[in-house]
Structure 1
Amino acid sequence: MLTLSPARAASAAPSGSPQRAVMGTRTSGFYRHDLDGLRGIAIALVAMFHIWFGRVSGGVDVFLALSGFFFGGRLLRTALDPGSSLSPVPEVKRLIRRLLPALVVVLAASTVLTILIQPVTRWEAFADQTLASLGYYQNWELAVTASNYLRAGEAVSPLQHIWSMSVQGQFYIALLAVVYGFALLFRKRLRSHTRLALIVLLSALSVASFWYAIVSHDADQSTAYYDSFARAWELLVGALVGAVVPHVRWPSWLRSTAAAVALVAILSCGAFIDGVKEFPGPWALVPVGATVLFILSGANRMADPHLAADGRLPAASRLLATAPFVALGSMAYSLYLWHWPLLIFWLSYSGHNHADVVEGALIILVSGVLAWLTTRFVEEPLRLRKSEPAAPIAGAPLRTRRRWPTLVMGTIVTLLAVALTATSFTWREHMDTQRANGKELAGLSPRDYPGARALIDHVRVPKLPMRPTVLEAKDDVPISTKQGCISDFSNVDVINCTYGDPTATRTIAVAGGSHAEHWITALDILGRLHHVKIVTYLKMGCPLTTEQNPLVMGDNRPYPNCREWNEKVMPRLIADHPDYVFTTSTRPWNIKDGDVMPGFYIGIWQQLAAAGIPVLAMRDTPWLVRDGQPFFPADCLADGGDATSCGIARSKVLSDRNPTLDFVKQFPLLKPLDMSAAVCRPDYCRAVEGNVLVYHDSHHISATYMRTMTPELGRQIAAATGWW
């Protein structure tokens, strides 16, 4: 993480600065080793919960609060010192020297491991995230990915964890601009009131950010999780503590109780709060508030290092000030950088969904060794100025930086950063070329690439390379996706686009989620051929449903915007009164094999039946899942698999009978459509049929394969409507 340890913050603080005891530096005669220890505890929690429990521990939020405290405290001291310089250049240089070297080393190692272990289909996402990590906008890259239903699989990458460092980097620059800018304008005018004015300003910003976090969390939690504005309050609260801590006094017994309660809250947070779903909303107050409480428990001692027994740190603080915790805290940044990519690469290499006790222990051990080496030979030499002592650990001798090793290491890190940037841009350009080649997919010969016709009509399949290729697959999507004709996760507006024959008098409304949308490719062709207007009413991951608390299919996270969108789209559909509504009528079981007609679809059929609108009810296409996790056939094929090994048994994803058929008597206007025979063989759903890749991800049909299903879809719609 980007958290500056007390020792590092102390070494970077300007000499002669007033309120220096706030940061607990050695020159003031007192140093908070326990906060280094707290960082050690937090990083241990992060690693253990990631590796063994697949949960968020709250340790990241502890880091954010500590980051605001250390960095914000130093900025405030400088801003309040009438004789200090307000040039941002030294601070920016210090941040670069502190943060980038270890990050570059880990990115370089991750690049090598990606090439060796990950399928080539994952390289573009890795290149994009490498650039985002170097540019400190990885959180926004992941926010865009999280809000895009079709890119959801890219979020779990070796660099996913760098989102929090990007948040902190952005916060550092923003806070630097706010505090220094405020001091530049008002320090001389406000004089003794400058501190109070800054506290008021930071308090207002904290409240605004917290309110925004609650609103954005309720609207779209997966995007809010990475949002810098929704996370800013956690750092701002830490900065506020740095401003008020000199004026806090506690009775000894109350300080001890507060420290113990805070430590217990931090240790237990991950077990009782599902941070993946609840942060950065109100529940984030638990780890952040506990961190603030722990810092303030030592406020007496920090404000006056010459206090007697009453000024001793609480027992919990003294425990965390011991050498093992301090040593762990000193390399927390590097340990955080290393543990996640090592976990992801091991899971990718082994094919496991999670690490067991032994595997997890080995990952932590290797991460610890690499973190120590990175801290000792990369971070410290490049962070410290000439003859400047390294961060002290209790009882350890001070080290100084030598000039020549520093120059060599600095050169290596710079060259690695340049190489990473160049390599990432080169691969992105290569993928642009692949996308340009993919334009020919719409014109593939039906004789050479029969696709679904190999299953339906049993036509001969020549031996030719598969299309789309594994690199083309991701972008082989419906035209409606490319044109933005489907609302994303955060958008609750009803978006209408028209395909087929726009002048036709007969209309089919395609409504629901992306599993209704991927039929647009075939429906557009049929509409132009048979003079039918195709109008979209679509939202990512959101079928037509009466469910009050809908979840995102696949990861089961709350999706309140889906309910709001349904409340808008149903009156619109009924008012527009199309000749037919085309939508999905089944979905996979979450608890057993096969598919099901969900009960919360019945209310939709009732509303449409009451309005006299018939429904073309399409049975959903199979979702490819292994061990409870979705898998991408393109990744499997790129990793050496074949059409069979990269597929799935039909019985796993489809019931013996289309569940929609059980509701036809109840709803006479319900016209079941079932294209399962065009996707799966009688006993198996393969990844490739008729030389065409069936899926472009784990559960959406590729646009190229969808074109080959057009004749069969046209036959079924004709039988249901009688139009041709």
Structure 2
Amino acid sequence: MVPVSPDAATRGSAIVPESATSLDPPGHRVSQDIPEYRDDLDGLRGIAIALVVGFHVWMGRVSGGVDIFLVLSGFLFTGMLLRRSATTGGPGIGATLRRTARRLTPALVVVLAAVVIATVAARPYTQWGNISIQTLASTFYVQNWFLARAELDYLAPNPSVSPLQHLWSMSVQGQFYLAILLVVAVWAWIARGSTRDRWRIGLTVLLVAGAALSFWYAADGAQRHQPWTYYDTGARMWELLAGAVLAGAAPWIRLPRVVRTLLAMAGIAGVLTCGVLIDGATEFPGPTALYPVLSAVALIVAGMNAEPARRPWVNRLLGTRVFAGLGSVAYAFYLWHWPILIFYLSEYGAPSAGLTDGLVVIAAALVLAVVTQRLVETPLRRPAGADDYSVTVRRSLTTAVSIMAVAVLGSTVTWQVILRANPARPPAELKLEKYPGGAALVPGVAFEPAPMRPTVLEGWADAPPPTRDGCITPDREVRSCVYGDPTAERTIAVVGGSHSEHWIPAFEILARDHGLRIVTYLKEGCPLTLVDQPVYYDSPWPECREWSVEVIDRLAETRPDWVFTLATYYRVEGAGDEVPAEFAAVWSELGERGLNVLAMRDTPRLRRDGVLYRAIDCLGGHGTAHSCGVDRAVVLDPVNPAIAAGASHPNIFPIDLSDSVCRPDRCLVVEGNVLIYRDEHHLTASYARSLAPELGRQIGTITGWW
């Protein structure tokens, strides 16, 4: 389920508009030779937005609609720039920027204002900081980079997802508009004096080269790190440039009617089946994105340079009132549907929308889209001097939207300033007599109630040292750091992803008390693996395998006394935890290298109906340590599955601290006055420190060191 960025459209005359985008009003010319308005492209917008919304609401996966909109955006916007350049000698940077902003900004401001208000009214205050920074990122069209840097996969709609996640694709479009505007302007200046055909051919060749480079970059990135590549503008650019190339080559594309009919039929089949056949959230924008992109290209070409009556029947059908009318509100419909869906799921605590709930969400979004288009977008797009009434309405709306924009920016910037002026300062080390943490689960340990530490605003910042000092890598680089006593004779290598990392605070205490050298080999989201796509990943990630192989080689060379890494993983489908086959394969590889393993049972993850949730959000929303917890049977098997799985591997020594995190029947989010989780599944550094005695006891028993 992928967001799309349609650019809203309102119906107008058949005259070339000042600026055309994939959602711009009807009234643009497809080429200088054929002035007829492409109402079939409005219909293609309508089909695409229907698929996007339907797949978001009911299917929880990508429909391919975003890719269709990107192609349309590249085609229409570039075509507008080429026509303007041919007429005036340049694209008119200032005028284009003003008019494009006037078309896109008002509806966006209205939706962002609604999201900010709804967040304050309905979301826990622990989320205000994240929503405010995403509001700013969306306003300035950099939301895709924010999500990429946050290392967020494109998630299906559920109560834990940001109501602004879908605006990443609008950011990609906005960045493309600016880039192609500058490219056309520079090319017009360089090629001044050339004939119109030579000028256009040269630019088209340049666009083809750019599309090829972007496609190669996307294909490589999708193999190496698809979640990042999904949001990467450079990797998405080829989809927009596919449309731009069509705009450049438009005057020379004239195909026989039978060919155009076949293209149209193949194109509409691809549009309708993409989301069913391909899970684009785990594969796009790699080569599989050719499926929706070429489908859109086929439909555009099928109706190109042809009178409306001579277009293929598919294009004529797309140009009918129903499809074209839906396309005319596509931009506003897209803006509204996602936040309404997310707030609805959050309010009712549902993991997904059923048939009735989904229809309610769609109806609400469609009504708001029509209202936004008619009362905000259309009046602001009318010519400035049409009549006294329109001038008055336009001025009033401009003032209202401007005030709204100032309020949105002012409130979000103010909240960010407040957060930065009062940064979260988690405790360096809590006194065990007042904050026993995990020790509180030991029978007979007594302690007095005290204010929870870290607080809900400190929780996220209470991270282990590698997160703060850069010793956990986000990419292919193998980084190794040393904690504890660098001169100690005993060495433990802590290896894997963030669930290995969050034990470092406990290891630091053990290193101090027992003289240990702790060496780390850590990569975000990457338990050791020898395959490109383990069962617990939704898509291939060769980068993780490559990193793991090099780390295992390093371990074989440096030969630490023990390797500490994960032994179990939660069942993605179903309750409890298990040992993935990929983990056992790593154990065998380490055994062949003569390496002994302290195999830690993974920390339980907070989830309801399969949806992960943050402890700090639950507590910030008036939950309690108990109500925000989860039944132990939901997250853990009765017996550590690593015991049986490790029995056939003589180098595997299981460690299990589940009883220091969970009670016999339930895993709470606070124990011994200490917050356990900094998010959905990572321990706070404070709680990890409280587990040092039990971790040390189990390691001592296994190693005989103390």
| Distance in 2, Cα, partners of 1:312 & 1:612 | 74
Q: Equivalences for 1:154-165 in 2 at 5 Å?
A: 156-165=161-170
Which residues of 2 match residues 514-553 of structure 1 at below 5 A?
514-550=498-534, 553=536
Partners of 2:320 and 2:648 lie apart in 1 by 71
- 1:486 maps to 472
SS at the partner of 1:96?
A: helix
- Asked whether 1:383 is paired with 2:381, we answer yes
Question: 1:166-565 to 2 correspondence within 5 Å?
Answer: 166-189=171-194, 192-301=197-306, 312-387=310-385, 402-433=390-421, 435-436=423-424, 438-439=425-426, 441-456=427-442, 458-488=444-474, 491-550=475-534, 553=536, 556-565=538-547
Q: Partners in 2 of 1:670 and 1:685 — Cα distance?
A: 27
C-alpha contact 2:491 2:519 (8 A) present in aligned 1: yes
SS of 2:191 mapped into structure 1? helix
Pairwise CA distance, 1:291: 1.3
Structure 1 residues 95, 652: CA separation in 2 closer, same or farther (over 3 Å shift)?
same
The alpha carbon displacement at 1:252 in A equals: 2.4
Matched, 1:706 2:688: yes
Deviation of 1:643 after TM superposition, in Å, equals 1.3
State the match for 2:579 in structure 1: 597
CA deviation after TM superposition for structure 1 residue 370, in Å: 0.7
1:577 equivalent in alignment to 2:559: yes
2-structure distance, mates of 1:256, 1:526: 73
In 2, are the aligned partners of 1:80 and 1:195 still within 8 Å (CA)?
no
Matched residue type, 1:507: T
Q: Given the superposition, is the C-alpha separation of residues 90 and 663 from structure 1 closer, same or farther in structure 2, using an over 3 Å criterion?
A: closer
Judged with a 3 Å threshold, the aligned counterparts in structure 2 of structure 1 residues 385 and 549 are, in CA distance, closer, same or farther, namely same
Judged with a 3 Å threshold, the aligned counterparts in structure 2 of structure 1 residues 321 and 611 are, in CA distance, closer, same or farther, namely closer
Contact 1:664 1:671 in 2 (8 A): yes
Alpha-carbon deviation of 1:28? 6.5
The equivalent residue for 1:392 is none
CA offset at residue 669 of structure 1? 3.8
1:105-149 CA deviation, whole Å, 9 max, x = no partner? Answer: 000001111112222222111111100000100111111122699
Q: Does 1:679 align with 2:667?
A: no
Do the aligned partners of 1:10 and 1:25 also contact (CA within 8 Å) in 2?
A: no
Check conservation: 1:508, 1:581, Cα contact below 8 A.
yes
Q: Deviations over 1:207-236 (max 9, x none)?
A: 111111111111111111111111111111
1:40 to 46, 60, 72: 46
671-680 or 343-352: which moved more?
Answer: 671-680
> TM-score with structure 2 length normalisation?
0.93
CA contact under 8 A between 1:434 and 1:471: conserved in structure 2?
no
Aligned equivalents of 2:61 and 2:573: distance in 1? 21
Contact 1:486 1:538 (C-alpha < 8 Å) held by counterparts: yes
Query: What's the secondary structure of 2:167's corresponding residue?
Result: helix
The whole-number CA distance in structure 2 between the counterparts of 1:497 and 1:293 is 53
Whole-Å Cα distance in 1 between the matches of residues 86 and 465 of structure 2?
58
Counterparts of 2:225 and 2:18 in 1: how far apart (Å)? Answer: 40
Change (3 A) 1:135 1:3: same
**1:375, distance to aligned residue in structure 2 (A):** 0.8
SS of residue in 2 equivalent to 1:509 = strand
Displacement after TM superposition at 1:591 (Å): 4.0
Deviation at residue 21 of structure 1 after TM alignment: 11
Report deviation, 1:705: 0.8
What secondary structure sits across from 1:499 in the alignment?
A: strand
Matching residue's letter, 1:596:
E
Shift of 1:400: 9.5
User: Displacement, 1:579?
Assistant: 1.2
**Preserved CA contact (<8 Å) 1:518 1:703:** yes
Amino acid paired to 2:586: I
Residue 69 of structure 1 pairs with residue 69 of structure 2: no
Go from structure 1 to structure 2 and tell me whether the alpha carbon gap of 1:312 and 1:562 turns closer, same or farther (over 3 Å shift).
Answer: same
Q: Deviation of residue 684 (structure 1)?
A: 1.5
CA distance in 1, matches of 2:393, 2:64: 38
Query: % of aligned pairs identical?
Result: 47
For the residues of structure 2 that align with 1:699 and 1:656, how far apart are their CA atoms? Answer: 19
Q: CA deviation at 1:463?
A: 2.4
Distance in structure 2 (CA, Å) of the matches to 1:172 and 1:144: 22
Contact 1:45 1:57 (C-alpha < 8 Å) held by counterparts: yes
> Quick one: which amino acid aligns to residue 235 of structure 2?
A
Stretches of 4+ moved more than 6 A in 1?
25-28, 152-155
Select 1:53's aligned residue among 51, 59, 71: 59
User: How many Å apart are 1:599 and its aligned residue?
Assistant: 2.9
Which amino acid is the alignment partner of residue 66 of structure 1? L
2:623 matched to 1:619? Answer: no
3-state SS of paired residue (2:526): coil
- The corresponding residue for 2:23 is none
1:649 matches 2:648: no
Three-state SS of the structure 1 residue aligned to 2:306 is helix
Contact preservation (8 Å) 2:90, 2:185: no
Distance 1:134 1:486, change over 3 A: same
| CA distance in structure 1 between the aligned counterparts of 2:35 and 2:246, rounded to whole angstroms | 21
| Conserved? CA contact 1:6–1:70, under 8 Å | no
Q: Give the conservation status (yes or no) of the 8 Å contact 1:621–1:699.
A: yes
Check conservation: 2:103, 2:381, Cα contact below 8 A.
yes
Instruction: Write out per-residue CA displacement over residues 634-674 of structure 1, whole angstroms, 9 at most, x where no aligned residue.
Output: 22222222111211122222222222333565444433222
Q: Given that residues 90 and 188 in structure 2 are in contact (C-alpha distance below 8 angstroms), is that contact kept between their aligned partners in structure 1?
A: no
Task: Show the counterpart of 1:395.
Answer: none
Q: Which runs of 5+ in 1 are unaligned?
A: 306-310, 389-398
Tell me the amino acid that sits aligned with residue 250 of structure 1: L
**How far did residue 69 of structure 1 move?**
0.9
Contact 1:588 1:594 (C-alpha < 8 Å) held by counterparts: yes
Q: Deviations over 1:650-705 (max 9, x none)?
A: 22222222223335654444332221111111222111111111111111111111
Looking at structure 2, the residues matched to 21 and 194 of structure 1 have their Cα atoms a distance apart, in angstroms, of 25
TM-score by length of 1: 0.91
**What's the offset of the Cα at 1:590?**
3.4
- Paired with 1:10 and 1:576, the residues of 2 have a C-alpha distance of 72
How far residue 254 of structure 1 moved from its aligned partner, in angstroms, is 2.8
Q: For residues 605-652 of structure 1, give each alpha carbon's deviation from its aligned partner in whole angstroms, at most 9, with x where no partner exists.
A: 333334333222222121222212222222222222211121112222
Q: Distance in 1 between matches of 2:582 and 2:221?
A: 26
Q: After TM superposition, list the pairs within 5 Å mapping 1:37-186 onto structure 2.
A: 37-81=43-87, 83-146=88-151, 156-186=161-191
Contact 2:18–2:99 (Cα < 8 Å) also in 1: no
- 2:520 aligned counterpart, secondary structure: strand
1:247/1:611 Cα in 2 relative to 1: closer, same or farther (>3 Å)?
closer
Over 3 Å counting, the alpha-carbon distance change for 1:386 and 1:26 in structure 2 is farther
> Following the alignment from structure 2 to structure 1, what is the Cα–Cα distance between the partners of residues 685 and 559?
28
The one-letter code sitting in structure 2 at the alignment partner of 1:565 is: W
Aligned-partner residue type, residue 222 of structure 1: P
* Partners of 1:648 and 1:684 within 8 A in 2: yes
Q: Which segment is superposed worse, 5-14 or 658-667?
A: 5-14
How many residue pairs get aligned? The number is 694
